[in-house]
Amino acid sequence: MNQEISRRRTFAIISHPDAGKTTLTEKLLLFGGQIQVAGAVKNNKIRKTATSDWMEIEKQRGISVTTSVMEFDYEGFKVNILDTPGHQDFAEDTFRTLTAVDSAIIVVDSAKGVEAQTRKLMTVCRMRKTPVLIFVNKMDREGKDPFDLLDELEQELQIKVRPLSWPINQGARFKGVYNIFENSLDIFTPDKQKVTEKVSVDIHSNDLEAHVGDADAERLRQDLELIDGVYPAFDVNDYLAADTAPVFFGSALNNFGVKELLDCFVKIAPCPRPTVAEEREVNPEEAKFSGFIFKITANIDPNHRSCIAFCKVCSGRFERNKPYKLIRTGKTLRFSSPTQFMAQRKTTIDEAWAGDIVGLPDTQTFKIGDTLTEGEDLHFRGLPSFSPELFKYIENDDPMKTKQFNKGLAQLMDEGVAQLFVNSFNGRRIVGTVGQLQFEVIQYRLENEYNARCRWEPVHLYKACWIDSDNPAALEEFKKRKYQYMATDIEGRDVFLADSGYVLQMAQQDFKDIRFHFTSEF
């Protein structure tokens, strides 16, 4: 069992939109032997899109709107990748995914440096002490000076960095990368399908000049000397403690520097770590199975209208057809067809170990954050919904399709795409999101996956916040006074819909006994 667990590597790929996450995922799958040809993401002549972007809307927009789960074997290790959406409108999906991984790879565009979304995601990694590894992408284009980039990474992400590979020039003059971790030289030949050759070179001999020319050889020696002078030697324990981030340089599109990243990653990345539950800390090596649901996806296969709940195995061994207890309801469930994923392709499995991600068929049994165990009452926490900032009334546009509309809306809300509130005053349904794009995704998916049409109507609101109080009389008084602005969420909890910042501030001042919460976990 310990052997199985120690060979697991579960990680998320995170970044700002367009830094090249999905392209990097593709190339990692190429090395894992899962795909034979990398889908040229941007090339319309090749009618292939990225493997991990399988939803119709993702193919049209060229962006990821949902996290994809993929797994492959590489040199004796079992690698689980979660490719997350970079767009800030889908940040919640990414925050939740970060609770299910043991480490993360951050992709940074060499020309743009650190962007807003990357900073936000790094904050979540810091909070959870998740070890991160940084891949500086697009070195085959003109970008910032590598030393300036390292300074920027340290300042913006508030973490110490240590380069483990170093670029030889960049843009049109890009000649390759010197692999500091393995002391070898990788010569760059732009090719989207093939892997670049490795050359073992002694830095201090004349072989280097033969490969990269006199000027670049001289500069590389100076750079490496400077790196050793400025940055302390790489210590794996500092990386595992989330104090230091190793940095790699390369070009994901041209398949360059990716293998070095993967080779180093499987050697140093953490295997599954203990998970903190409300009751106690759960160790991966424990004999009994436990896990939590961190994501629900409707319609992975549009022909079957099926929902899949993604379960992260926290301890022990998950077995097919074995009875497990769903803590929230106390029910005992058996799973006859648990699956493992390659984006949209899935295969049925008989067992899974701590660190793996298992897909469980869901007939609206699960909610995000549910815990499954062999009987012990455990609650894994840390899967918040944030208070939404954009609101619209949602109406059914086709009375003949009421059933499809209601089913579609319920499934999409269970997925955590957005949040649904029912206004206590007029009974109308309000959808709250963190980003404008989510409204378009809901409309598109209702139409294409559920054959139902929706209509949006404006509603002027500032923020939704959950309320509770130890004083029932005060709570009742508040709900009476604010009757027009009260709603319930899908769990039936009280939500106050403030129509301006001023109203919210006054409510907080006037009602001292009421607690206002801006995430759904309290």
Q: What is the CATH number of the domain that holds 454?
A: 3.30.70.3280
pLDDT of residue 224: 84
* Residue 425, SS3 per DSSP: coil
Last residue of one domain, picked from the residues 217, 239, 268: 268
Is residue 77 included in any domain, yes or no?
Answer: no
Is residue 382 included in any domain, yes or no?
Answer: no
Dihedral (CA of 362, 368, 372, 376) sign: negative
Note whether 158 and 284 are same-domain residues: no
Note whether 287 and 203 are same-domain residues: no
Amino acid letter, residue 301:
D
| Domain coverage including residue 306 | 275-373
Q: Give the single-character DSSP code of 113.
A: B
Cα three-residue angle 20-442-345, rounded to 5 degrees:
55
* Biggest alpha carbon–alpha carbon distance for the chain: 84
Residue 514: alpha-carbon gap to chain centroid: 34
Dihedral (CA of 392, 395, 397, 403) sign: positive
Query: Higher-confidence residue: 148 or 20?
Result: 148
Mean pLDDT of 106-131: 82
Note whether 224 and 294 are same-domain residues: no
State both tokens at 506: 């006054």
Is residue 287 included in any domain, yes or no?
Answer: yes
Note whether 179 and 203 are same-domain residues: yes
* CATH, residue 328: 3.40.50.300
Q: Is-contact 64 53, C-beta < 8 A?
A: yes
Last residue of one domain, picked from the residues 347, 373, 399: 373
Question: Position of tokens 């280097």?
Answer: 208
pLDDT of residue 464: 87
pLDDT in tens, 374-409: 878 888 776 666 677 789 999 998 889 899 899 888
Query: Higher-confidence residue: 377 or 187?
Result: 377
pLDDT in tens, 52-91: 454 555 555 555 445 567 777 888 888 888 767 655 555 5
Note whether 55 and 129 are same-domain residues: yes
pLDDT of residue 415: 73
CA distances for 348 relative to 77, 78, 236, 325, 475, angstroms? 20, 17, 36, 21, 49
Is residue 383 included in any domain, yes or no?
Answer: no
pLDDT of residue 191: 55
Note whether 87 and 163 are same-domain residues: yes
Q: Which range scores top for mean pLDDT: 60-64, 120-124, 158-162? A: 158-162
Q: How many domains does the chain have?
A: 3
Is residue 345 included in any domain, yes or no?
Answer: yes
Is residue 385 included in any domain, yes or no?
Answer: no
pLDDT in tens, 243-293: 888 998 888 887 777 888 888 888 888 888 888 888 888 888 888 888 888
Last residue of one domain, picked from the residues 344, 373, 402: 373
How does residue 457 score in pLDDT terms, banded at 50, 70 and 90? very high
Note whether 263 and 397 are same-domain residues: no
pLDDT of residue 205: 66
Note whether 105 and 33 are same-domain residues: yes
Note whether 152 and 40 are same-domain residues: yes
Is residue 2 included in any domain, yes or no?
Answer: no
Q: pTM for the complete prediction?
A: 0.74
Note whether 28 and 168 are same-domain residues: yes
pLDDT of residue 304: 56
Query: Higher-confidence residue: 515 or 32?
Result: 515
Note whether 471 and 360 are same-domain residues: no
* Residue 496, SS3 per DSSP: strand
Is residue 352 included in any domain, yes or no?
Answer: yes
State both tokens at 306: 């099926």
Note whether 321 and 427 are same-domain residues: no
pLDDT in tens, 324-373: 988 888 888 888 888 876 644 667 878 888 888 888 887 778 887 888 88
